[in-house]
Amino acid sequence: MLTIAGLSKRYAKGDKALDDVSLSIPAGQVVGLIGPSGAGKSTLIRCMNRLVEPTSGSIRLGDTEITRLGGMGLRRARRRMGMIFQEYALVERLTVMENVLSGRLGYVGFWRAFLRRFPQADVDRAFAVLDRVGLMDHVDKRADELSGGQRQRVGIARALVQEPDIMLVDEPTASLDPKTSRQIMRLIVEVCAERRLAAIVNTHDVALAQMFVQRIIGLKAGRTVFDGPPEALDTDVLTAIYGEEDWSRTIREAEDDAVEEAAAEDAVRVLRVQATPSAVARTL
């Protein structure tokens, strides 16, 4: 469980980026964080792992008050937070496996990490998560040989191998095409549900968030202006968060895309079934 209470952030030069934000997220819940540019979404995510220092307020992960930690305590707490980034943040010249194992760096000693001698249990964990994200055929490829969607799968695997309690996800699909975006979003939601992970997904893609997450939080000028289920996010609320835009069209287009994609996947499935020997025998 993540509990944020009265969180505010004022940067040295500038307005308040976060203004008295309070929310709590139970284990297993995936929350979409939406809002216009400058609303404070990245600041909120960065305050949670203290890449940005909050000005006031409390952030509790389980029983741990994150805002009071320093040194070793903070490093331990960060191990419990899996980060997924827009630009993947992979080491391009390292292999998929090495990138995923880097998610265990918070657990192994300096020399082991330096010599890249990870315990067998970590290698086993890495294989398990690579299998889950569908990259078993790419384990030894270098990161720079992968497509955008594959890179983000490595990013997800690297976060999962940490065995975190929460996932902090910053614009995971901003560099991907619409179809790959849906696959990646679906994967994030599924793995969080399987492992009972709380997650915050910062996204500009309202339609994608509505399609996949259980709860949406809307930020505007550092304040929470919406917190509810995706179906309650109607055009009035969207206009209140973002201003005037033809929301019905944006959302309808995304839904049409998803329906077309599902129909195409169904067609492929039917063709595969028809092509199996038993199906061929049945038709004779």
Ligand X SMILES: Nc1ncnc2c1ncn2[C@@H]1O[C@H](COP(=O)(O)OP(=O)(O)OP(=O)(O)O)[C@@H](O)[C@H]1O
* Residue 14 binding ligand X, by CB under 6 A: yes
Q: HSE (CB half, 13 Å, CA atoms) of 84?
A: 33
Single out the residue of 198, 174, 172, 168 nearest to residue 186, CA to CA: 172
Q: Quick check: 152 binds ligand X (CB under 6 A)? A: no
Nearer to ligand X, 38 or 57 (CB): 38
Q: Does 38 bind ligand X (CB under 6 A)?
A: yes
The residue from 4, 17, 59, 81 that contacts ligand X (CB under 6 A) is 17
**Binding-site member from 3, 8, 42, 95 for ligand X (CB under 6 A):** 42
Cβ-contact 161, 122 below 8 angstroms: yes
83 near ligand X, judged by CB under 6 A: no
Q: Which of 32, 35, 54, 164 binds ligand X (CB under 6 A)?
A: 35
215 is a contact residue toward ligand X (CB under 6 A): no
Q: What is the DSSP string of 156-192?
A: HHHHHHT--SEEEEESTTTTS-HHHHHHHHHHHHHHH
Taken as a whole, the chain contains a residue count of 284
Segment contacting ligand X by CB under 6 A, of 13-21, 66-74, 118-126, 130-138: 13-21
For residue 171, give the amino acid letter: E
Task: Number of residues interacting with ligand X: please give it, by CB under 6 A.
Answer: 13
Q: Is 246 helix (H, G, I), strand (E, B) or coil?
A: coil
- Taking CB under 6 A as the criterion, the residue among 2, 41, 77, 187 binding ligand X is 41
Q: List the 64-65 sheet strands across, edge first.
A: 16-25, 2-10, 56-61, 64-65
Does residue 218 touch ligand X according to CB under 6 A? no
Site for ligand X, residues 43 to 82, rule: CB under 6 A: 43
Residues 195, 111: contact at Cβ < 8 Å?
Answer: no
Q: Among residues 4, 25, 40, 135, which is the contact residue for ligand X, using CB under 6 A?
A: 40
The CB-of-81 to ligand X minimum distance in angstroms stands at 17
Nearer to ligand X, 103 or 222 (CB): 222
User: Are the CB atoms for 4 and 12 separated by under 8 Å?
Assistant: no
C-alpha dihedral sign at 190, 192, 196, 199 = negative
Q: Which residue has the tokens 């998803």?
A: 258
Task: Tell whether residue 39 is a contact of ligand X (CB under 6 A).
Answer: yes
**Segment lying near ligand X (by CB under 6 A), choices 38-46, 83-91, 245-253, 264-272:** 38-46
Applying CB under 6 A, which part among 8-16, 20-28, 179-187, 238-246 lies near ligand X?
8-16
Distance between CA atoms of 147 and 220, rounded to whole angstroms?
A: 34
Q: Which residues bind ligand X (CB under 6 A)?
A: 11, 13-15, 17, 35, 37-43
